[in-house]
Amino acid sequence: MGKVLLGVSASPRKNGNCELMIKQIHAGMGAGWELRLARLSDFDIRPCQACYQCLFGKMRCPQEDGLIALLEEISLADAWIAAAPTYLLSANAALKKFLDRGLQFYAFVDRLWGKPAVAVAVAGIEGMEGSTKLNVESFAKLAFADLRGSDVFYGALPGETLLSPENRQNALRLAKSLLDASARIAPEGPVCPVCGGDTFRFQPGGRARCMLCSGSGTYGWKDGRLEIDIRTGDHPLFLTREDVIRHAEWLRGMKQQFLDRRKELKEAVKDYLAVGTIVERS
């Protein structure tokens, strides 16, 4: 039986660049791979209500939308692609809306953990992708994928990404990385030694923080090259399966903390409750 590649596209544009790059990657995987395409716009993903019910009991979000169906689809796939367009210097809101429901992912950890995935960021103007690459990488990591590579594909008009030989070449590299873990793609510049991310925040005193895994460490110049040394932080979210389970337990423990500290919290907010006028939609 053939294998299934699932493309998750956050773009509202049917046959737009996200979908076309997903299809280009699928083409590079050769025979034997069926492509399934999940358009987030078809799944009515609603905003997280912060009720935390997905972490307790049956571990199911009370909202009846397409979230569970999407997670089932990813669970059934042999490999998957997270793709999002850049809107105003970050991945569009459809991707973030899905990710905001990510506490529900913990109920699927056994089925999602270590699934091969690649991340696709699309941007209309070269260099104007903002945080989109980081956003799609975070999405894949927080869905417990074995992220094999990621790339930014430039093209504004629907179909324009396909006109670039470089884009086609890079899509092929992503396809190869999905087929073979040893072909995983390391970013060209400085890389976080903990998670493979390449987006950093530079801080005073030669300190640096990886924006993907949140680990922190130091940076400095050696032989004209920037070297970044990052160590795992106190609260890793996805580096190991144990981290994932530990974080879910920590979140569950917050419920008890809330109950234990309710009085103190109530006291702290009481003088603020009646301040300000609620603006209503006219």
Ligand X SMILES: Cc1cc2nc3c(=O)[nH]c(=O)nc-3n(C[C@H](O)[C@H](O)[C@H](O)COP(=O)(O)O)c2cc1C
Q: Which residues bind ligand X (CB under 6 A)?
A: 11, 13, 16-18, 85-89, 122-125, 128-130, 155-156, 158
Q: How far apart are CA 113 and CA 140, in angstroms?
A: 11
Beta bridge partners, 77, equal none
Which of residues 86 and 104 has its CB atom nearest to ligand X in the complex? Answer: 86
Contact call for residues 244 and 144 (beta carbons, < 8 A): yes
Which of residues 13 and 46 has its CB atom nearest to ligand X in the complex? Answer: 13
Nearest approach in angstroms of CB 80 to ligand X is 17
Nearest approach in angstroms of CB 231 to ligand X is 33
Nearest approach in angstroms of CB 53 to ligand X is 33
Which of residues 158 and 233 has its CB atom nearest to ligand X in the complex? Answer: 158
Which of residues 166 and 227 has its CB atom nearest to ligand X in the complex? Answer: 166
* Residue 159 falls in which region: left (phi positive, over 0), alpha (psi -120 to 50) or beta: left
Which whole-number Å values give the CA distances from 125 to 87, 223, 272, in the listed order?
11, 33, 45
Nearest approach in angstroms of CB 194 to ligand X is 29
Which of residues 61 and 120 has its CB atom nearest to ligand X in the complex? Answer: 120
Which of residues 69 and 156 has its CB atom nearest to ligand X in the complex? Answer: 156
Nearest approach in angstroms of CB 153 to ligand X is 8
Q: How far apart are CA 102 and CA 238, in angstroms?
A: 12
Which of residues 12 and 233 has its CB atom nearest to ligand X in the complex? Answer: 12
Residue 183 buriedness (CB in 10 A; 0-12 / 13-18 / 19+): middle
Q: How far apart are CA 89 and CA 263, in angstroms?
A: 42
Which whole-number Å values give the CA distances from 92 to 7, 43, 86, 130, in the listed order?
16, 15, 6, 11
Contact call for residues 130 and 86 (beta carbons, < 8 A): yes
Residue nearest ligand X (C-beta atom): 16
Nearest approach in angstroms of CB 275 to ligand X is 35
Contact call for residues 185 and 152 (beta carbons, < 8 A): no
Contacts for 184 with CB less than 8 Å, ≥ 6 apart = 148, 149, 177
Which of residues 18 and 210 has its CB atom nearest to ligand X in the complex? Answer: 18
Nearest approach in angstroms of CB 70 to ligand X is 18
Nearest approach in angstroms of CB 16 to ligand X is 2
Which whole-number Å values give the CA distances from 84 to 5, 9, 241, in the listed order?
17, 6, 26
Question: Where are the alpha helices (H) located in 29-164, listed in sequence order?
Answer: 67-76, 93-100, 109-112, 132-142
